[in-house]
Structure 1
Amino acid sequence: MGALDGKVAVITGATSGIGARTAEVFVAEGASVVLGGRRTGPGEELAAALGPRARFARADVRVEADIEALTAVAVDAFGGLDVLVNNAGQGVEAPRPLPEADLAAFLDTLAVHAGGMFLGIKHAARIMIPRGWGSIINMSSIGAHRAGWSDISYSTAKAGVLQLTRSAAVELGPHGIRVNSVSPGPIPTGIFAKNAGVDAERADRTAGLLEPLFAEAMAAHQSIPRAGRADDVAAAALWLATDASSFVTGQDLGVDGGISAGRPVAVAVEERRLLAKAFAALPS
């Protein structure tokens, strides 16, 4: 018996990375899932691999008609909508100094990462309110909590997701709908390679090879000494989707290996050791 038996979910950005892994986990736990994304080939391939309880529908989260149609697929194919995972995102260009930043690129990032989630909530709520139940899960980021982890447009958009989550939670709670967010730390998915100009298909296939590099890079920042994985984020989304979290709403769940808690103690100890060594070397 699965944790999501009989539930129907829509997952945006489900053609790769965290979205694809969440779709796999949800189907394995008994849900019927509509996978949304812009890349038809990978989306249809994944839906076929997941079996009869999965459908793919092409959707650009910046286009309201696409989101309305995406949620309609859940109703038409599976009879309703119980869970929405607002996961769609896109890579961002290399950060520029603020005096050189491009407004159009900034606004497009907001449109995808905040506007797309707003549209998802809007159209999911239209289905969930009459049913009196629902769980909406928005993907935020460590960049919403800590400056310097991503470019300014992405960080601003993801910070907006936190307030969007809280605002929707207090409005939709009386209708039996919970709204929460998840803030992953750096997770080695294809988006990093895509940002570097690597072909999307190759980026998705090779993302896992970056785990050792991520683990090394994060050693000074997070207390859990390994790279985060899409599995970690999918597991958090699964909990928020189930009745096990039925009294949780308006919250953000950090899945960041401890980054938001603070630096590993060993890093501070080593810094103090080096400082003491430097003081000892000073002339008396």
Structure 2
Amino acid sequence: MITGSLVALVTPMHENGELDWTCLHNLVEYHIREGSDGLVIAGTTGESATLTVQEHCEVLRRVIDQVAGRLPVIAGTGANATQQAVHLTAEAKALGADACLLVTPYYNKPTQEGLYRHYKTVAESVAIPQILYNVPGRTAVDLLPETVARLSILDNIVGIKEATGIIERGAEIRELCGRDFAIYSGDDSTGMELMLRGANGVISVTNNVVPKLMHRLCIAALQGQREDAEAINGQLQGLHKKLFVESNPIPVKWALQQMGLIKGGIRLPLTPLAENHQPVIRQVLAQLDLL
């Protein structure tokens, strides 16, 4: 089971929107050096929705080859078309990913039965560990615990990234699916509490900016050390919140640019962080001595 602080990695781009392979390479080494417990590549924060299939697979290939087993690499391979999700997941397996993260099909608004059949099809088509990803605030569909329980019976569906921010949801999934089913928080603001109540880690946007602190937070929370976890999380609450003043990954890419880790590229329809939001991001970065 993959545990701890897993970074939902941004995909660096040049100002013209072309992928920045040099920055991507440097970011991967930064996270290995700073203590991230795993890399989640080409997910929501990685702007998967605006990558071509060829770019998506090339990002995965480069990162997996570079990491060379030093960290687990989880490939984002979800899609709103089931056969495309099968294709991306098969590509990730062929490239050597450790697991795949599959967001619920967005825009289509499938029923619970449709979600079940979608994930069952991918699981039965590609023999690689697969993590469900529930983020109804972005997809307009909620993968309910009862459906998660049905899916957890399938051998290679090994966990879920639960991004509703509802702490009780994690406990319900744990009760239905058992201890061997991994639960990851997909909401930084509530991630600590979810881990203290039995989740296995967090797939984090905040980790892009403060990987070392997020690693320490996860260690404390996973070991049940509430006082230590709360002390670290208290330092990060401002960052957890301000990184969502506009749609993710707009604020986190701007923050990383200010830190000198990436350039300012982002793809339409996303736009660079609005000027009126820049001071609040700069303030929390300064408070953490990141500027």
Q: Which has the larger radius of gyration?
A: 1
Q: TM-score range by the shorter chain?
A: 0.3 to 0.5
- TM (norm. structure 2) is 0.38
Larger helix share, 1 or 2: 1
**Highest RCO, 1 vs 2 (Cα 8 Å, sep ≥ 6):** 2
